[in-house]
Amino acid sequence: MLYLFIMKKDNLPNKLAVFPLSNFIIFPRTTVPLNIFEPRYIDMINDSMKSNKLVGLIQPKFSKDKNDDIPQLHEIGCMGKITSFKETKDSRYLIELKGLIRFKVINEIKSNKKYRECEINFENYYEDLENKKEDIKFSDLELIFKDLKSLFEKRGFIINWKALEKQSLDETINALAMASPFTIEEKQVLLEAKNLSIRKTKIAEILTTYSFDQYNNTTIQ
């Protein structure tokens, strides 16, 4: 089932169910498919579908403790809205989540729910809701495209570059940031970049830290 919506500043919530996913981010105006199977997140989606269909995606912080069942969360995540929902025969949920606006975690809410909820604030990210044109051209991305293609090939990633080039500029930059084989910390830096121009610059800066050994075909970071 598909859902259409328009999110306005006045309709933003002050608390949000959050889905911690390591090395996975979503940006405003991008859409990702999610396969939900853990019981606690099945509950989260059920509750969301009954109310505003909103979910927050956020990266957990890296922990050396493998027994840490409740890892700390990064401060910045992105709220998305469920735009497609399907239940499979084995009771999994296949959803599509469209990124709307980034948020800052103020504190985590204690409750009896199996999933995590946070008090959140959007005040630094209202521009995410605006269809604002950035002073960037596709020609500015040529070098980034070249370096990313090399990195993707080294890591065995398959990207439909022709499809990417048909998207809008913000969709292209954000999709590359989402799909990139960067570290958790590097992806978090991209998510927290204030605007598209800065995000493009950050991608280029991160790429300079990856050098390619032409002799043994390995990636050195």
pLDDT of residue 44: 97
Is there a contact between 51 and 44 (Cβ–Cβ < 8 Å)?
Answer: no
Domains and CATH numbers, the chain: 9-129 (2.30.130.40), 138-220 (no CATH)
pLDDT value at 140 more than 80: no
Q: What is the Cα 44 distance to its own chain's centre?
A: 18
pLDDT tens, position by position, 73-114: 999 999 999 999 999 999 999 999 999 999 999 999 999 999
pTM across the whole model: 0.82
Confidence label for 217 from pLDDT (cuts 50, 70 and 90): very low
CB burial string 151-184: b at 16+ within 10 A, e below: bbeeeeeebeeeebeeeebbbbbbbbbbebbbeb
Confidence label for 216 from pLDDT (cuts 50, 70 and 90): very low
Dist. CA 174–CA 141, nearest whole Å: 12
Q: Token digits for 150? A: 């090399």
